[in-house]
Structure 1
Amino acid sequence: MVCSLQLGSLIAPAYACGCGAMVVDRDSRVSVDREMSVVSWDGGTEQIVMRLTVRGNAPAAAWIMPVPHRATVELGDASLFSELETLTAPVSKTDHYFWPRAKDWPFGGSSGRTGDGAAAPAAAAPVEVVGRERLGPFDVARLAATDPAALEGWLKENGFELPDRLATALRPYVEQKWEYVAVRLAPRDAGGPLSGTLDPLRLRFASDRPVYPMRLSRLAATPQSLGLYVLAAHRMEPRGAIGGRPPEVTYAGRVDARREQDAYPALVALTGGEPVFVTAIDQSFPRPELIDGDHELRAAAADSPYRTTYHRDELLTVGGVPAWVLASLGGAAVVVAALLLVLRARGRRPVTPPAPVFAPPPLR
């Protein structure tokens, strides 16, 4: 199972993110302040639970998500995201040192801390609406398309235009015979702007390997940050950097969600309560235009556990007093006491009288 967290803050007619693309009309602007996606894979079925936090003046937007096979769509559980953040959160550890450093008294200030801190058949027509549902505030259309331009008809029906760059970016998915989920996003209050945290959507489709779509992120105008939560039988890792900096593991450990059902009910529902190995991976893309593929995940060489730990150095104290001061005072007291004992012992030692001096006999 794969879980991901994508953060961004782009404002543009077309917004590209790790899990799809957002399109608004030419006169509107939208920003995605936060995108959270949870992707699970059990060896044959993949699920993506996605939640967006948006702001802007757009009365509506279209979100397009490429998927490798025919997908079903339903509303997701928002509590899943907070559970995963809590589960993989970093921990803090305080390391004490004895002797004062530059910032400690008497050298500097009083602070002693330094932070270290099964595949669907290809559609016969260029585009086919294979399903359409109303889920909460969402109008969801599941499309099968054999040409990126085929999406243009659906977008026009919903008041949007397909940007040329997006059509080009979608071409690799068409060549691989992927399909799309197109969602019309609208505000809860009719006539208002599309803003706030939207209800999560849950996609389910067949997949013989865990994959996280990333190609559309190359359309982003600013650096992108990606976090992946991978839930599988073993520790997982990306097959490559796909144009970004080397991925960094921030958490790795086995979790028995069934034993912690009260704390992680949404996670238990997602995994079926089976024990899983959780791997959290962070990655940055300073130049999104270099992204050249989707993230494919594989098992790591070993199931080595790891957790990000922020170390904080702190001067060792006893009752608020630096331990080195107490030790120094104690040492000085010992020396003084020793000297006093020596002097006292010398004062009590009996004085031996000098030997008598005998005068030599007189000379005759």
Structure 2
Amino acid sequence: MKRRILTLLLALLATQLGSLVNPAWACGCGAMVPDGQSRIGVSRETSVVRFDGRTEQIVMRFTVGGNAKQAAWIMPVPTRATVELGDPAVFGELERATLPEHKARYYFWPRQGDWPFSSSIGDTAAAPPPEAAAPVGVVGREQLGDFDVARLTATDPGALRGWLESNGFRLPETLAAEVKPYVDQGWEYVAVRLAPRGKGRILYGTLDPLRIRFDSDRLVYPMRLSRMAKTPQSLGLYVLADHRMEPVGRIGGEAPKVTFAGRITPDRHLAALTDGKEAFLTAIDQEFPEPGRIDGDHELRATAADTPYRRAVYHGVIRKVGGVPAWLLTVGAGFLTVLLGAVVALRRRRARRAAPPAPTAPPNPA
């Protein structure tokens, strides 16, 4: 019975796609399934997470490739969620806020590109680059741009079965084991049908972001379904909270890397996520070379201290004094010292040769 319930739940999550026969390509926080014989892959997922201790908001966008004209994407959520289109401008603000600091690293001896190895003397440093859960399926449906969004529950197998039969869905069998933990915990789901408007358009490049909001007393970022991906996965996560945050574990990926940590005052786009308040921003990158090793969802916690961090990019700059390379002054001074020493020695030698011989005393008479 449990296996049957799981299979029905999986079918529900592929809302409006009809018959789906391809293996799922997973993205960082859900599964993406193409239509028919098409294929789709998610190469990069970037998300902004805002957590205030009671509510979690996730603004996410995907960079996809393949030839699918439509696909289904699903995301498990711990409580009832609301969904709307996200503001793509928040990603630009975050990228600017987390740019690395450019610093000069001075060197003494000339390198390739410095005079005399180049045609000119100059600085050659590179330019800086809730309500009670209903027992039955669909709790909300919206058309958001290119997205047809359905918010679903799966607490009543009978009602779920009826909804499935009336909509006729199938999903890959491989999803059954992966969704079981969410079924056991009573999570709900956001199911999205992605179908670009316009004849012949395919899902390719960076898609419009979605903003998902739900109540939660812990910061959790769903990742378990990513284990179904067939290619390495890359996750970029911006976390806006009261303190610096860190993942509790690696969940089967490489060690998460913090690329920025510090307090920011959000600009007008980010202010919509923070209600205009100052927040501590933690930027995290993580790679998953073997997605099949992913063993859970990311849970993030506050670190012991709000230690700031910013990456530094060093650019080699030849050391100068008064606009002249220091090595040239040093070598020039040394050469002049040697030259002056040689001149002085030469003059002394010449002076000794030109001087008359010293008179000799006459011999004493006997």
Instruction: Name the CA shift for 1:157/1:97 in 2 (closer, same or farther; >3 Å).
Output: farther
After the TM superposition, which parts of structure 1 deviate over 4 Å for at least 4 consecutive aligned residues? 103-106, 108-114, 147-160, 317-322, 341-349, 351-356
* Structure 1 residue 310 corresponds to structure 2 residue 313: yes
User: What letter corresponds to residue 141 of structure 2 in structure 1?
Assistant: R
Amino acid at match of 1:293: G
Instruction: Letter of the 1:88 partner, please give it.
Output: T
Shift of 1:330: 1.8
1:122–1:177 contact (8 Å) kept in structure 2: no
- C-alpha distance in structure 2 between counterparts of 1:197 and 1:358, whole Å: 110
From 320, 329, 332, give the equivalent of 2:332. Answer: 329
1:185 aligns with 2:194: yes
Write the distance in 2 (CA, Å) between the matches of 1:15 and 1:96: 48
Tell me whether 1:361 sits opposite 2:365 in the alignment.
yes
Q: Counterpart of 1:83? A: 93
Measure how far apart 1:154 and its partner are. Answer: 6.1
- How many percent identity over aligned positions? 60
Aligned mates of 1:152, 1:283 — CA distance in 2? 38
Q: Which amino acid aligns with 1:285?
A: F
Give the structure 1 partner of residue 172 of structure 2.
Answer: 163
The offset of 1:186, in angstroms, is 1.0
Partner of 2:105: 95
More off after superposition, 211-220 vs 277-286: 277-286
SS at match of 1:266: coil
Gapped regions of structure 1 (runs ≥ 5): 1-11, 258-263
Alpha carbons of structure 1 residues 249 and 81: separation in structure 2 relative to 1, 3 Å: same
SS for the counterpart of 1:246 is coil
**Aligned partners of 1:346, 1:170: CA distance in 2, in Å?**
97
Alignment CA distance shift 1:147-1:356 (3 Å): farther
For residues 263-295 of structure 1, what are the alpha-carbon distances to aligned partners after superposition, in whole Å with 9 as ceiling and x for unaligned? x32112211121111111121112211111111
Query: Does the CA-based 8 Å contact 2:149-2:192 persist in structure 1?
Result: yes
Equivalent residue for 1:20?
30
Aligned length: 337
For residue 16 of structure 1, report the CA deviation from its aligned partner.
Answer: 0.9
SS of the residue corresponding to residue 178 of structure 2 reads: helix
Determine if contact 2:264/2:279 at 8 Å carries over to the other structure.
Answer: yes
Say which of 267, 272, 294 aligns to 1:269.
Answer: 272
Paired with 1:186 and 1:179, the residues of 2 have a C-alpha distance of 23
Write the mapping of 1:247-266 to structure 2, written as runs, cut at 5 A: 247-257=256-266, 264-266=267-269
Q: Compared with structure 1, are the counterparts of its residues 249 and 194 closer, same or farther at alpha carbon in structure 2 (3 Å cutoff)?
A: closer
Distance 1:249 1:36, change over 3 A: closer
TM-score by length of 1: 0.80
Aligned residue in 2 for 1:49 = 59
Alpha-carbon deviation of 1:199?
A: 2.5
User: Residue 153 of structure 2: SS of its match in structure 1?
Assistant: strand
Choose from 221, 236, 239 the match for 1:212.
221
Q: 2:252 aligns with which of 240, 243, 256?
A: 243
Kindly indicate whether the alpha-carbon contact (under 8 Å) linking 2:43 and 2:234 is maintained by their aligned counterparts in 1: no
- Three-state SS of the structure 1 residue aligned to 2:335 is helix
Q: TM-score, normalised by structure 2?
A: 0.79
- CA-CA distance at 1:145 after TM superposition: 1.1
Gaps of 5+ in 2: 1-21
